[in-house]
């Protein structure tokens, strides 16, 4: 897990961040990123993607675990939004999402 002071702050700050951030899209993610002195990461998952909170939390942990090292080494502020596409929790979904998160390497 990442330290709490490096989690992305309030929603109001996200709206201003989104105006000047760059955008990268994959079939399941929309990733806003911007160079920053202090690395920060936020993951947003809607109920349309996963109805159960345990599944949404599983996805957030998955994204935090795989994206945090890339965000930290490149000094980025990053917000990852999961597109509202229904998914099933499982190893196949995990492998698919991890392969899509590797697009952060090219940023």
Chain segment 51-69, per-residue pLDDT in tens? 888 888 998 899 988 888 8
pTM assigned to the model? 0.81
- Three-class DSSP category at 96: helix
- Does CATH number 3.90.440.10 belong to domain 4-106? no
Judged by phi (left if over 0) then psi (alpha if -120 to 50, else beta), residue 14 lies in alpha
Q: What are the residue boundaries of the structural domains of the chain, listed by start?
A: 4-106
**Mean residue pLDDT across the chain:** 84
Residue 7 to residue 97: CA distance in whole angstroms: 21
Q: How far apart are CA 107 and CA 9, in angstroms?
A: 22
Q: Which percentage of the chain shows pLDDT scores above 90?
A: 7
DSSP state letter for 36? -
pLDDT digits 0-9 by tens, 17-31: 888 889 989 898 999
């Amino acid at each position: 897990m990442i330290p709490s002071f490096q989690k992305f702050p309030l929603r109001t700050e996200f709206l201003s961040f989104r105006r000047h951030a760059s955008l990268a899209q994959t079939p399941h993610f929309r990733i806003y990123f911007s160079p920053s002195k202090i690395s920060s990461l936020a993951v947003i998952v809607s109920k349309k993607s996963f109805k159960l909170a345990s599944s949404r939390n599983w996805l957030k942990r998955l994204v935090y675990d795989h994206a945090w090292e890339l965000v930290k080494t490149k000094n980025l502020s990053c917000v990852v939004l999961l597109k509202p596409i229904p998914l099933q929790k499982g190893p196949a979904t995990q492998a698919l999402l991890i392969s899509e998160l590797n697009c952060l390497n090219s940023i």
